[in-house]
Amino acid sequence: MNQANNDIRLLLVVGIAAMFLLFATILLIFIFTQRKKLQYQQSLHSLKESQQLQLIEASVRSEETERHRIAEQLHNEVGALLSSAKLHLHTIHFREDDNYNLSLYHKGSELIDESIRKVRGISHSLHSHILQSFGLNEAIKHFVEKLVGGSLITATTALDYTYKTTSLPQSDISIYRIIQELLNNILKHAHATEIHITSKYENENLTFNIVHNGTGLTQELFEEVRYNSDGMGLRNIQNRINLLKAGLNFSESNGLYFIHIILPKPLDERPVTI
């Protein structure tokens, strides 16, 4: 009887222990394999992400190169041709009483001057020499002044000059392009009459705030427009934001629209920049 009791007790203890060990083994194998698969999926995902960033980087770089090339050609070739045309025009002499031809001459001269200015303007907007020579803040300030010059729009800037252009100014080019595109959009679509741009450089974080009184975008609207619109502008902005690993936020308060850009890491320590 005692032996039978001991047997049943042994059977119970061994049974529970064996079942438990078996289950624990299965559970551990399950967790281990799932973890491995998850790591694999994550590495695959990050690989895809880095490939996507590389593609964006290449596309942005080629865009910049193309801008640079067109700007140079405009400046050096078209600009030179127009200057030469102007020189030739100035060599023409008219009788003082030949008012008709004289007025045509002045009109032609004005048009050539205007064309030279336009070509220079387009050339500078395609490739900002100010950005390279004087840095991001000056380039933004200059762009804003040029953008609203001669119009009824009021644009002010309060930029943080403690931020200096880094040794890798490609990041600054991207920030400049983002702000350029945003300001163009504000004028073109939001019909703002007042724009205020501020920047702050604190704890190696560079932030920009653009406030305007037009009909701007909220974050939801931005997401919607970005996915539904065929336009390149917002997509380019988002690509550059992704490339810089920056944050971009749109909001609205009391009839004013806010655009907040944050670049959270030192720009010259970024692995992917353009």
Partner 1 sequence: MREYVQLILDWSEVWSIFIPLLIYRKQPALYRPVVFYLWAALFINLSIDLIWKFRTYIPSAYNSNNYLYNVHSVVRFCLFSYFFLSLKQPFLVQVKKAVPLLFFIFFVINFGWYEQFFNYSLFSSRLLAVEAFFLLFYVLQYYLYKINENVEVDIFTPDFWITTGVGIYMVINFFIFLLYNELTVRLQNFAVSLWNVHNVSFIIFNLFIAKAFHESGKQ
Query: Which of 3, 10, 25, 31 is in the footprint of partner 1 by CB under 8 A?
Result: 31
Query: Which of 3, 10, 25, 33 is in the footprint of partner 1 by CB under 8 A?
Result: 33
- Compare residues 23 and 94 and give the one whose CB is closer to partner 1: 23
- Residue 12 near partner 1 by CB under 8 A: yes
CB of 14 to partner 1, least distance (A): 9
CB of 9 to partner 1, least distance (A): 7
Query: Which of 10, 16, 58, 87 is in the footprint of partner 1 by CB under 8 A?
Result: 16
Query: Which of 37, 106, 117, 164 is in the footprint of partner 1 by CB under 8 A?
Result: 37
Query: Which of 10, 38, 92, 232 is in the footprint of partner 1 by CB under 8 A?
Result: 38
- Residue 15 near partner 1 by CB under 8 A: yes
- Compare residues 35 and 191 and give the one whose CB is closer to partner 1: 35
Q: Which of these ranges, 12-20, 76-84, 102-110, 145-153, lies near partner 1 under the rule CB under 8 A? A: 12-20
Q: Which of these ranges, 9-17, 67-75, 131-139, 140-148, lies near partner 1 under the rule CB under 8 A? A: 9-17
SS (H, E, C) the chain: CHHHHHHHHHHHHHHHHHHHHHHHHHHHHHHHHHHHHHHHHHHHHHHHHHHHHHHHHHHHHHHHHHHHHHHHHHHHHHHHHHHHHHHHHHCCCCCCCCHHHHHHHHHHHHHHHHHHHHHHHHHHHHCCHHHHHHCHHHHHHHHHHHHHCCCCCEEEEECCCCCCCCCCCHHHHHHHHHHHHHHHHHHHHHCCCEEEEEEEEECCEEEEEEEECCCCCCHHHHHHHHHHCCCHHHHHHHHHHHHHCCEEEEEEECCEEEEEEEECCCHHHCCCCC
Which chain residues interact with partner 1 by CB under 8 A? 4-5, 8-9, 11-12, 15-16, 19-20, 22-23, 26-27, 29-31, 33-35, 37-38, 41
